[in-house]
Amino acid sequence: MAGELPYIIILEGYDDAFLGFVVQEKLSRPTVAVYSRKLCVEVIMKERKYDREKAIEYFEEKVENLWQGDDAPLILNHCSVKEYYQIFEAMTRKD
């Protein structure tokens, strides 16, 4: 990264949710921006005056699913290891 910053797709209007970027040279993939899902939803709630449920729906439909491909921004779901295992167990539980 000596010299200039790599090109990344920036989600317009979500600067407060930008966490940084990931360099994926070892995977022969482009550098990508990383955003917080939680903070993106909070931006939508504030800007559009939506409740959390409506903001999540908007985010999933208009932002998260809009970008595809190797250079698409990554959306980070914040959680602890304990929370991750709880989510994993809930998703794999056979009722």
Phi, psi for residue 44 in degrees, rounded to 5 = -65, -45
pLDDT for 25 equals: 72
Q: Which amino acid is at 2?
A: A
The pLDDT tens digits for 1-56 are 456 677 899 999 999 999 999 887 776 778 899 999 999 999 999 999 999 999 99
CA angle 78, 45, 83 (to 5 degrees): 20
The CA dihedral of 83, 9, 48, 39, to the nearest 10 degrees, is 30
Note whether 21 and 76 are within 8 A (CB): no
Taking CA 78 as the corner, what is the angle to CA 10 and CA 52, rounded to the nearest 5 degrees?
Answer: 80
Strand 74-76 with 18-22, pairing:
unpaired
Residue 59 pLDDT class (50, 70, 90 cuts): very high
Q: pTM of the full predicted structure?
A: 0.80
